[in-house]
Amino acid sequence: MMNQLDLMYFLAVARSNSVSGAAAELFVSQPAVSRRIASLERSLGLRLFRRTPSGMVPTAAGERLQALAQDLHNRLERASDVMGALGEGQHLFTVACPETTGNYFVAPFIATGAPISDILPSRPADVYGLLDTGADMAVNTMTPPAQLRSQHLLSTPILVHFPGNAPFPVTKGQAELKDVARFAMQMPGYGSAVERNVRAAAGRSSIDLSLATPASNGILAQAQAAAGRGASIAIEPAAFGLNEALLIHEGDPLAVDIHAAWESDHYAAPELEALAKELATWMKYTAPQAHSNTHHHKLSIGT
């Protein structure tokens, strides 16, 4: 029968692909690791590793056990953290989220004293998967899977930013996507929610976005705009002295929905639900907001 120590030794070998590496990680002798792995293999009746010139490689059975063992290890660590927090009277959670969401929303929320100890940045498509590998809560711009508990946090507007000395087609603090698309623009790419929503709106009306250039995040997009390389599209309020306007499509504002999600069987599910509601309130009333600092120009910026 497996025990926690068996799994700890097994995972160390799987991570390092060597008995010597596992021994160094665990501060034990190499024979102790070898004996533990051999004992585990005997008890299971399965070979868990193949010895190759490149090191210890998990067999098919070893790969299956690695996934199960890592899950059990994460849950044991989570249980230990939760019980320790109960003893201290406070929970501290780890949040997985896209980089922009972490920088713009979660980190400032932590600064208010929120019980969050760490942020795990990831692409939106990968965020919810991190709940299986150590994250307590996910804050994401993609709709949560149905099996998770969730809370809608905010619909934040998508903005277009442009230099004040480069007139831009804006009416009453708003700019139509079809007009913006006629000019060079910088936009967060790589699967960002801004890119997904803008391209989806453009696709519905056959709007050509060939002049859009991907940026790694909204701040960089604004920096490029400030440098005279067109407009930027992002959710962050204007920086670098730029003006901003709400980006609309056929009269309707474009926005990014942000959700919080957590496992329903998490040891601290009630506390996570309360944290999500607190985050939603903070985002609605306290988070930095767009100011629509616009000039109502009707000329174009340089392409």
pLDDT for res 3: 80
pLDDT for res 76: 75
Give me the residues of the chain with pLDDT under 70, please.
1, 78-91, 166-167, 287-303
Rounded-to-integer distance, Cα 138 and Cα 256, Å: 16
Rounded-to-integer distance, Cα 158 and Cα 260, Å: 19
Rounded-to-integer distance, Cα 37 and Cα 48, Å: 8
Question: In 3D, which of 140, 301, 120, 145 has the Cα closest to residue 227?
Answer: 301
Question: In 3D, which of 294, 291, 290 has the Cα closest to residue 156?
Answer: 290
Rounded-to-integer distance, Cα 198 and Cα 209, Å: 9
Rounded-to-integer distance, Cα 108 and Cα 156, Å: 16
pLDDT for res 4: 80
Q: How far is CA 112 from CA 43, 106, 262, 278, in A?
A: 51, 10, 22, 11
Domains of the chain: 4-71 (1.10.10.10), 87-153+258-285 (3.40.190.10), 156-255 (3.40.190.10)
Tokens representing 24 are 């160094």
pLDDT for res 69: 86
CB 219 within 8 A of CB 243: no
pLDDT for res 7: 87
Tell me: the pLDDT tens digits for 274-300?
999 999 999 888 765 544 333 333 333
Tokens representing 6 are 């068996």
